[in-house]
């Protein structure tokens, strides 16, 4: 099995700069296991540069960066799916 994640305008209304992170799991033969899932829970600002991994238990982990999260500027965010 494997997973992919990408930035998409379509999942947050199609207007820049509100770009979201989307992920999807696939079987080893490349058939989809899941529908596309919106990963980020905060929709303000752009969400960019997604990276994805599956841990030893098969949980999906997605990380990405988002500008202007707080006074420190950009932040690296993550979300884990069972």
How many helices (H) and strands (E) the chain has is answered by 0, 6
**Reported pTM:** 0.81
Q: What's the mean pLDDT in 51-61? A: 94
Residue 80 near residue 28 (C-beta atoms within 8 A): no
- At residue 8, does pLDDT exceed 80? yes
Q: What is the pLDDT, as a whole number, of residue 51? A: 96
Task: Tell me the pairing of strands 20-26 and 60-70.
Answer: unpaired
CB within 8 A of 38, min separation 6: which ones?
A: 11, 12, 20, 21, 22
> What distance in Å separates the CA atoms of residue 32 and residue 81, rounded to the nearest whole number?
16
Q: Of 20-24, 42-46, 62-66, which gets the smallest average pLDDT? A: 42-46
- At residue 77, does pLDDT exceed 80? yes
């Amino acid at each position: 099995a494997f997973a992919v994640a990408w930035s998409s305008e379509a999942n947050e209304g199609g207007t820049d700069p509100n770009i979201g992170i989307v992920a999807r799991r696939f079987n080893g033969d490349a058939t989809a296991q899941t529908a596309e899932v919106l990963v980020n829970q905060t929709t303000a600002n752009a969400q960019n540069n997604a990276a994805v991994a599956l841990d030893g238990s098969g949980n999906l982990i997605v990380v990405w960066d988002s500008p202007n999260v707080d006074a420190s500027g950009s932040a690296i965010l993550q979300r884990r799916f069972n």
